[in-house]
Amino acid sequence: MTELRFDNRVVVVTGAGAGLGRAYALLFASRGASVVVNDLGGGRHGDGKSSQAADNVVAEIQKNGGKAVADYNSVVDGAKIIKTAINTFGRVDVVVNNAGILRDKSFAKMSESDWDLIQDVHVKGAFKTTQAAWPYFCKQNYGKVIFTSSNSGLCGNFGQTNYSTAKMGLVGFANTLAIEGAKKNICINVIVPTAASRLTEDIIPPDLFKQLKPELIAPIVFWLCHEKCNESGSVIESAIGWVRKCGMVRSSGCVLRKNLDDIVTPENVQENWSDIVDMTSAKHASNMEEIVGDQMNIIEDLKSGISKRKMDDNVIYSNYNGRDGILYALGVGATVQDPSDLRYLYENHENFALLPTYYIIFGVLGCIQNPIISNALPDLQINPMNTLHGEQYLEIYKVLPVEAKVKTIYKVLDVLDKGKGIVVLVQHDTFDANSEEKLSTGQMSIYIVGVSGFQGKRTSPHIIPIIDPPNRNPDASVTQKTTTDQAALYRLNGDLNPLHIDSNVAIMAGYKRPILHGLCSLGFSTRHILNTYANGDPSLFKAIKVRFAKPVLPGETLRTDMWQNGNRIHFQTTIVETNIAVITGAYIDLFSVKSKVTPTVSTPIANNNDLKSNAVFDTMKDYVKANPDQAKKVNAIFLYNITVNGNPKAQWTLDLKKGDVYKGQPTSGKADTTLTIEDKDMMDIATGKINPQVAFMQGKLKITGNIMLTQKLKTLMEMNKAKL
């Protein structure tokens, strides 16, 4: 591996006279950097001053053939530190804000000076030093900044209210500065180190103190500051040669009212507090757009009168044993005529196992036995005959036991208005009831036909997307005929919807005769894929995602077409007799592949002429060609990434500096603004069906670069609306 170097780079390290700062300075210098070694030379409480600490580090660097200069200024005078860098080396590329002191006292005994001094050194010092370097970073379109936080800031620590406040303040400082610096290629990160230093020498136990070598943390800071590292806005924790990224997570929360006219009372809060603080389904909070988007989604739900209040009874306990697993396997086509199926059918088989898709049953049982759907739609009368299983996702966390008592927790993630019906998105997490170990997670899309009109949102950020298979012939196919009794057998697993057994009900629902469960077809295809790509080993199964496109009649023949893409096996299930695809956009993820099938080399899709958004850009192209002077007034380059179900499908460049619109990336220069959006959403924006700002807040439109420039596209979009 090529050695990472810092040749021709200038690095400023504050508090570099000892400990972490010294380790940083020595490593940067050893890799070619010119280093400003800043240290006031005081004690850990901020008292005293001496040039010896900085001088010693500079001498050590120069002795080893490196370049360094000492600086003795306080970080509160950060401009002087940066001036030392400019006067000595002519530039500055990196600022490592490492200087710090302690003034530990309990809150009751803390003086105002104890508080102010800590804020001055840690927060104001980092502010002044970084602000002084900022104009140079912007001019050269490059810069790296490190702030130093602490676990005392992230978690709190007795006697350190002043210190922990400052350290957490630096995290907020970095979060915002990373946003402001992005357009100028300035990366901002926070290091949370635990190392042996003068600040920790009498705080950390001696045995641990010996292992907390600053030299084990320096390489992490080195990498974050290297030109090849694009990380920005991150909090990185490190100690004893171990490193991880930290982030803020939020609970799923709880809506305390059913519509916009309701008020919130203290009693509402008390009643739902356990749900509010429940972190079972916590998710990462990465940016303000995501947070604001969530809030806008809640407002839309409240407008439509849909409540997603979490219910205490959204839990079901289930017991299953080997017999249940055998019944499920028979229901999805396992047969003693196929030796690879015997492990699912014979309890004394040496590899007796449960088909992993058995755990989808717990999701279905929740929607049948639990009022979760009706609670999400309290004002609607739901007819089971009009309720369809639209999509399904399942992920397994460990090899599933052949018998167990399990607990499944259900949660409505979203309710969507699809025009001709409503989709209820349900998450189901299954745990071992005794150990509380999480065994699986799943997501169901329940489609209720003929119910709509609440004018709610049509998409959700929670949806796990389907993915189309590669544009080539299948790598493998397996065909198997279902029996006329297949639905009657499969329903014994607990899905007792009469649509699958009662001819009268089926006719009332619009079918000639009872149809097969979509999950039964899913089970057939799962077996086919495990036999083809996992040597029949269910322990290699990781996850599955499918869309149920059309119904199957018992007795029809199923063909599973498969495409390998690494450990992901894309598949489509088709009725042989009619050539109708019944499962689409599907894939199974395996932990590893054990296969004799040689995957076909993927041929990229030659063109994307079927994208709806092509018409939008063609119209823009005509307008720009007819009005070049008006287009050039925008004086910016925009790159559009067009996706379908999250997969990149096309790129379009709007070069409004030269007055040109064309497919692909910019042929000259860089894009000032990059926009990523689904093909359908692009058309909706262009035709005025959705406001671009709303799309951005809901996460449908993702923008990087100079966001403000997008305001200049208004004329183009208005013109599109008129013509499209």
Whether the per-residue pLDDT at 49 is higher than 80: the answer is no
pLDDT at 99: 93
Q: Give the residue ranges of DSSP H helices in 141-217.
A: 151-155, 161-181, 206-211
Q: Which among 338, 343, 368, 364 is positioned nearest to 355, based on CA atoms?
A: 343
Whether the per-residue pLDDT at 242 is higher than 90: the answer is no
pLDDT at 198: 53
For domain 251-304, the question of CATH label 1.10.287.4290 is answered with yes
Distance between CA 663 and CA 111 in Å, rounded? 64
Beta strand pairing status for 242-246 and 10-13?
unpaired
Whether the per-residue pLDDT at 557 is higher than 90: the answer is yes
Under a CB-based contact definition with an 8 Å cutoff, are residues 59 and 65 in contact? no
285: pLDDT confidence band, cut at 50, 70 and 90?
A: low
pLDDT at 91: 97
pLDDT at 302: 57
- Give the position of tokens 């800590």: 118
pLDDT at 453: 55
Instruction: State the amino acid at position 225 in one-letter form.
Output: C
Whether the per-residue pLDDT at 436 is higher than 70: the answer is yes
Q: Which among 520, 530, 606 is positioned nearest to 562, based on CA atoms?
A: 530
**Is the model more confident about 442 or about 673?**
442
pLDDT > 90: percent of the chain: 49
> What pLDDT digit, counting tens, does each position of 603-646 carry?
333 346 678 889 888 888 888 888 888 778 888 899 998 988 77
Q: How many CA atoms lie within 13 A of 262 on its CB side?
A: 16
> Which class is domain 315-590?
alpha beta
pLDDT at 358: 97
Backbone angles phi, psi at 545, to 5 degrees: -140, 135
Whether the per-residue pLDDT at 207 is higher than 70: the answer is no
pLDDT at 647: 74
pLDDT at 43: 57
> What pLDDT digit, counting tens, does each position of 372-417 carry?
766 766 666 666 666 788 899 999 999 999 999 999 998 888 888 8
pLDDT at 40: 87
- The residues, ordered by sequence, that sit 6+ positions from 708 with a Cβ below 8 Å of its Cβ are none
| pTM exceeding 0.85 | no
Distance between CA 207 and CA 227 in Å, rounded? 37
Residues known to be catalytic: 163
What residue ranges do the domains of the chain occupy?
Answer: 10-247, 251-304, 315-590, 612-719
Distance between CA 380 and CA 487 in Å, rounded? 29
Whether the per-residue pLDDT at 259 is higher than 90: the answer is no
> What pLDDT digit, counting tens, does each position of 176-192 carry?
999 999 989 999 999 99
**Is the model more confident about 308 or about 476?**
476
Give the mean pLDDT of 541-561: 95
Structure tokens given for 106: 């309990």
- Note the CATH architecture for domain 10-247: 3-Layer(aba) Sandwich (3.40)
8: pLDDT confidence band, cut at 50, 70 and 90?
A: very high
Distance of CA 149 to the CA centre of its chain: 24
pLDDT > 70: percent of the chain: 86
Mean pLDDT over each residue of the chain, to the nearest integer: 86
Structure tokens given for 456: 């709610």
Helices H, strands E: what count in the chain? 23, 25
- The residues, ordered by sequence, that sit 6+ positions from 98 with a Cβ below 8 Å of its Cβ are 13, 14, 15, 16, 20, 21, 24, 146, 148
- At the fourth CATH level, the homologous superfamily of domain 612-719 is SCP2 sterol-binding domain (3.30.1050.10)
- The residues, ordered by sequence, that sit 6+ positions from 707 with a Cβ below 8 Å of its Cβ are 673
What is the separation, in whole angstroms, between the first and last Cα of the chain? 54
Structure tokens given for 702: 């993702």
Whether the per-residue pLDDT at 93 is higher than 60: the answer is yes
Distance between CA 710 and CA 724 in Å, rounded? 20
Under a CB-based contact definition with an 8 Å cutoff, are residues 330 and 339 in contact? no
Whether the per-residue pLDDT at 549 is higher than 50: the answer is yes
